Structure 1
Amino acid sequence: MKNLIQDGTTITLAPTVAVVSGTPVLIGAMLAVALANVPANTPGTFIPEGVFELAKAQADDIGQGDQVYWDAAAKVITTTATDNTPAGKAWAAAGNGALSVEVKINV
């Protein structure tokens, strides 16, 4: 096929700050997770699909399948839509007090 660019399982980004492997970042309105450590202003590989264990707002009670959002200021997954970016769906429940949640991103 002449118009296929790539399979879409990774995306290249040169972040303005250093990003540690496994850390999510917003690329526009899309959440992607760093495949490896990426120095500031250097192109690196990010994954925009899949299920990842991500930090969550500790007080949130997230049910399996719930819509979740990325709070870019706090750098956590939350159930609060206001001022946050849709991140995907909770793959597993994570109750109040849990520090992380499994999220299928960008669905």
Structure 2
Amino acid sequence: MKTYVQPGERITVTAAAAASAGDGVLIGNLFGVAFGDAEIGDSLTLATTGVYTMPKVSTDAFTVGAVAFWDDSNGVVTTDDDTGSNARIGLAVTAAGNPSASVNVRLDG
């Protein structure tokens, strides 16, 4: 097909902020997990699909299938959409209680 560009599991963007491999990165409505390290202005590859262990708000409790939102200000996953200001990034695929530091999230892609 002549309009096909790529599968989309990984997207290369220009880093708007420094990022380390494994960091969650939100650019507009595009969310991914940094595939490597980058400084501001560097090319940064984001994984946009798959399941990742993500840091979470320690007091939030996730059940399997719960919607996961990204709190970009604090760099954590949360159950709170904060009246629309936190981006939906996927679904929890493991339970994670209060308190806990992380949850496994399947990215929406």
Q: How does the TM-score come out when normalised to structure 1?
A: 0.94
Unaligned runs of 5+ in 2: none
2:37 paired residue number: 37
Match of 2:103 among 74, 86, 101: 101
Tell me which stretches of 4 or more aligned residues in structure 1 moved more than 4 Å. none
How far is the alpha carbon of 1:28 from its aligned partner?
1.6
In 1, Cα distance between equivalents of 2:27 and 2:16: 12
Count how many residue pairs are aligned between Structure 1 and Structure 2: 107
Match of 2:86 among 44, 60, 84: 84
1:26 paired residue number: 26
How far is the alpha carbon of 1:3 from its aligned partner?
1.4
Give the share of equivalent positions with the same residue, in percent. Answer: 33
Contact 1:30 1:106 in 2 (8 A): no
How far is the alpha carbon of 1:62 from its aligned partner?
0.5
How far is the alpha carbon of 1:30 from its aligned partner?
2.4
In 2, Cα distance between equivalents of 1:29 and 1:37: 21
1:17 paired residue number: 17
How far is the alpha carbon of 1:15 from its aligned partner?
1.3
Mapping 1:29-68, distance limit 5 Å: 29-68=29-68
